[in-house]
Structure 1
Amino acid sequence: MSFQGFDKNFNITDKVAVITGGASGIGRAIAELYIEKGAKVAIFDLKDDVNEVAKEISIEKAMGIKCDITDNESMDSAIYEVKDKFGKIDILVNCAGIALLDDAENISDHYWQKTLDLNLTGSFKMCQKVANVMIEQRNGGKIINLASQAAIIALDNHVAYGASKAGIVGMTKVLALEWAQFQINVNAISPTVILTDLGQKAWAGEKGEKAKKEIPLGRFGYPEEVAAIALFLASDATNLITGENIVIDGGNTIK
């Protein structure tokens, strides 16, 4: 076996990527960068304007599909549409998620179950369904799961969210082990607070300033910084990386 090399510009030309939660925030930033680097992208999202968002990003290289990742029929239908239009799936990025926060002694069954259903079970089901497509294609693939620093450190009022994201990291390792035989790389990304529209609102003012003091680099992150790691993990440069969790947190979890 000889080293085949990789595109040092980290292009993913002619690859087809599915991005859940891709209509806004981190997911949209990843979709935009993937297209810039030559990929075609299918955005799965519950937002009513997902198709319009896809057209804003690229009329030719992006498609938007309203999809509920807690519903098997919805996922199956969306995956079929991608294969029908683009012919294959090479990359999956699981960005869809929810943060329902409350203290552990009072969190409701609804908050707990909805968080696990969407963040963990929904992500697993997408991995399972897309991996089966990749296995049938016999050409490997890349799966990237969005976890969180909450998978690694304890955050107040994040019991359900933290459990779901820790589950993502554990799931990623098992899938990486089992699917290595099919040349499918499975990795996770764990960001700190990312300044999406929602992130900016949630961490504005004194709360945000206090939190930034806990971060050695002294700031939160930007969606484009997460997208850069998602591009790296989708590229051929990372063909030997699998089962890893890349933390983007300004050093917050090294303390």
Structure 2
Amino acid sequence: MEYKGFDVNFGLKNKVAIVTGGLSGIGEAIADLYIKKGAKVAIFDVKKDTAEETKEKYGEAAIGLTVDVTQKLQIEAAIKIVMDTYSKIDLLVNSAGIALLDDAENLSEEYWDKTFAINVKGSFLVAQAVGKILIKSGGGKIINMASQAALVALDNHVAYCASKGAIVSMTKVLAYEWAQYNINVNCISPTVILTELGKKAWAGQAGEDMKKQIPAGRFGYPDEVAACALFLASDGSSLMTGENMVLDGGYTVK
């Protein structure tokens, strides 16, 4: 592939991005930053009022589509709307996910299945559908959301850790198979991020104890993950594929 340089401001002007789970948490922060950098964004979210909420927040800069990422037909229908609206897709961020926690002895089959359906199957189905378009169009970038839980054991996180480990492995295979089509596939592995859910889950002593295990001494913020996703979406990361960008304040270096 010919090297053409890149915008040193990591601009995304004229790019079209799909962001799953884009109405809350990390996905919302990524959608916000991509739009600020000039991209048009299609937000896939399971919320019934995704279209209305997206239009109210972003106006003409984005479209919102109600999509259950575990349902292939819903994904394909939504992607058709994106193509009809913007005529192309350049970027995908798989940010939709779930964390259902319990110890390994008592974790229910329902929790295991739902975790893998959303975190792994959902990410793959969207990546597969978008990948087919990128192969035909000459390339693009796919960013999957993994976690520090992919790299280390966390108490009560057996399904979540296993699902995020699967994301890292899936990312590597997609990167290997699709590099020939000028498609970069990478993932991001954050530590605890202070989304609204993160703030509630790690409030009080549990959060203080967790922060003591992080060399940087703090949790992360959604816009810090968005900054990593911006780099991976930009032309500046064109030689980077199959990698797991760890954003954990040093938690996993121990």
TM-score of Structure 1 vs Structure 2, range by shorter chain: over 0.9
2:40 corresponds to which residue? Answer: 40
TM-score for both structures, normalised by structure 2 = 0.98
Distance 2:93 2:19 in 1: 5
Gap change, CA 1:252 and 1:73, over 3 Å in 2: same
2:71 corresponds to which residue? Answer: 71
Deviation, structure 1 residue 57: 3.5
In structure 1, give the amino acid aligned to 2:233: A
Q: Does 1:225 align with 2:224?
A: yes
Distance 2:2 2:124 in 1: 34
Q: Does 1:162 align with 2:168?
A: no
Deviation, structure 1 residue 2: 6.3
Q: Does 1:184 align with 2:183?
A: yes
Deviation, structure 1 residue 235: 0.2
1:32–1:57 contact (8 Å) kept in structure 2: no
Q: Does 1:30 align with 2:30?
A: yes
- Segments of structure 2 that go 5 or more residues without pairing to the other structure are none
Gap change, CA 1:90 and 1:2, over 3 Å in 2: closer
Distance 2:32 2:49 in 1: 16
Count of aligned residue pairs for this structure pair: 254
Distance 1:219 1:254 in 2: 15
Matches within 5 A, 1:1-255: 3-138=3-138, 140-255=139-254
Aligned partner of residue 227 in structure 2, secondary structure: helix
Distance 2:3 2:238 in 1: 11
Deviation, structure 1 residue 48: 2.2
Distance 2:3 2:225 in 1: 28
Deviation, structure 1 residue 54: 1.5
Aligned partner of residue 106 in structure 1, secondary structure: coil
Q: Deviations over 1:95-117 (max 9, x none)?
A: 00010101101111110011011
Quick one: percent identity of the two aligned structures? 63
Distance 1:239 1:173 in 2: 15
- After TM superposition, the runs of 4+ consecutive aligned structure 1 residues lying more than 6 A away are none
Gap change, CA 1:44 and 1:2, over 3 Å in 2: closer
Aligned partner of residue 59 in structure 2, secondary structure: coil
Q: Deviations over 1:3-52 (max 9, x none)?
A: 42100000011100000000111001000100000100000000123223
Q: Deviations over 1:196-221 (max 9, x none)?
A: 00100110011101100000000000
TM-score for both structures, normalised by structure 1 = 0.98
Distance 1:103 1:90 in 2: 40
Deviation, structure 1 residue 58: 1.8
Aligned partner of residue 92 in structure 2, secondary structure: strand
